């Protein structure tokens, strides 16, 4: 028996029972000195596809992503890169050193928080105070209609 209070206290059985799958919620993060607070979906896609090289304040953009084969990248590849993992790997290879691969969300956070102009995508639930969360189309990751939510 799992000690799992919501099972009993809510009695919303179809809601509270442990589910088999959850939709991902990803956060786009920058270093805390970056003045950018919002990007449109189109700007985000241009940024991560290396079409935008500098932030509004002139700092060079450094992109940090997880391994294209990782489960965490599936949603990003589908919604931001529109690439397969193989295509993404080649793309990253071709755009070194402005795109960096990190092995974990903690590594993404560390890189972003210590490199001015860095931008990364992490699981929302890995978020720390060391980085800024960027709104996409004016929405935070917890809001309805946010771009980087899904499977």
From candidates 55, 116, 133, 135, binder to another protein by CB under 8 A = 133
Distance (Å, rounded) from C-alpha 46 to C-alpha 42? 6
For residue 141, state whether it binds another protein (rule: CB under 8 A). yes
For residue 32, state whether it binds another protein (rule: CB under 8 A). no
Cis peptide before 101 (omega within 30 of 0): no
Q: Which is nearer to another protein, 5 or 51 (CB)?
A: 5
User: Residue 9 Cβ, how far from another protein at the closest point, in Å?
Assistant: 5
Residues 6 or more apart whose Cβ sits within 8 Å of residue 69: 85, 89
For residue 142, state whether it binds another protein (rule: CB under 8 A). yes
Say if residues 127 and 133 touch (Cβ distance below 8 Å): yes
From candidates 3, 51, 53, 96, binder to another protein by CB under 8 A = 3
For residue 56, state whether it binds another protein (rule: CB under 8 A). no
For residue 137, state whether it binds another protein (rule: CB under 8 A). no
């Amino acid at each position: 028996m799992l000690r799992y209070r919501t099972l009993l206290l809510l009695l919303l059985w179809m809601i509270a029972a442990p589910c088999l799958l959850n939709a991902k919620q990803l956060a786009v993060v920058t270093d805390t000195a970056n003045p950018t607070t919002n990007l449109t979906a189109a700007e985000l896609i241009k940024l991560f596809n290396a079409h935008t090289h500098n932030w509004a304040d002139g700092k060079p953009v450094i992109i940090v992503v997880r391994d294209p084969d990782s489960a965490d990248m599936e949603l990003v590849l589908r919604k931001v890169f529109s690439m397969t993992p193989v295509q993404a790997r080649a793309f990253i290879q071709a755009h070194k050193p402005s795109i960096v691969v990190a092995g974990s969300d903690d590594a993404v956070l560390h890189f972003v928080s210590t490199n001015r102009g860095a931008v990364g995508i992490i699981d929302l639930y890995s978020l720390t105070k060391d980085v800024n969360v960027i709104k996409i189309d004016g929405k935070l990751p917890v809001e309805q209609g946010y771009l980087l939510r899904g499977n």
